Structure 1
């Protein structure tokens, strides 16, 4: 059994209030949960307007499968949302 987690720090471009930020962040978290079956949460920079720290985790029986799954998730976030990934940290158990 493998537990993989990734911390993603994002810069949000179209966030003019905390309400805008929460809308974008919740959309990202919900869509990634539904599509990739990961656990996810906003874990950092909660009160910063244009920055968000998100955590995603996955339990799998094959390390390569989990890693590929999370890499696809990261690529989709960057492609589908008005954000820039400014930091990425992998946590593997």
Structure 2
């Protein structure tokens, strides 16, 4: 089973693309410990917006949902950004 999720993010405190990329790359690296495929997929040239998409593959729907919840919490608990929209695919 495959579970894919896109997160649309607002990074209100960022004042440059360099600052945004530092935050996003940090969170992407932290997410990789959950063995997911993850990338910045949208708003690449906008300094205060981002779109992150990640996918989880396993034979258990409950495992997939557990990993999705952990990654969403990782992003949601970061004070430097806000989740604007969660898109489940």
| RMSD over aligned Cα atoms | 1.0
Q: Could you say which structure has the higher strand fraction?
A: 1
Tell me the residue number matched to 1:72: 70
Displacement after TM superposition at 1:76 (Å): 1.6
- Number of matched pairs: 89
Normalised TM-score (structure 1): 0.90
Q: Which runs of 4+ in 1 moved over 6 A?
A: none
Normalised TM-score (structure 2): 0.94
Displacement after TM superposition at 1:80 (Å): 2.9
CA distance in 1, matches of 2:24, 2:85: 16
5+ long unaligned stretches in structure 1: none
5+ long unaligned stretches in structure 2: none
Structure 2 counterpart SS, 1:27: helix
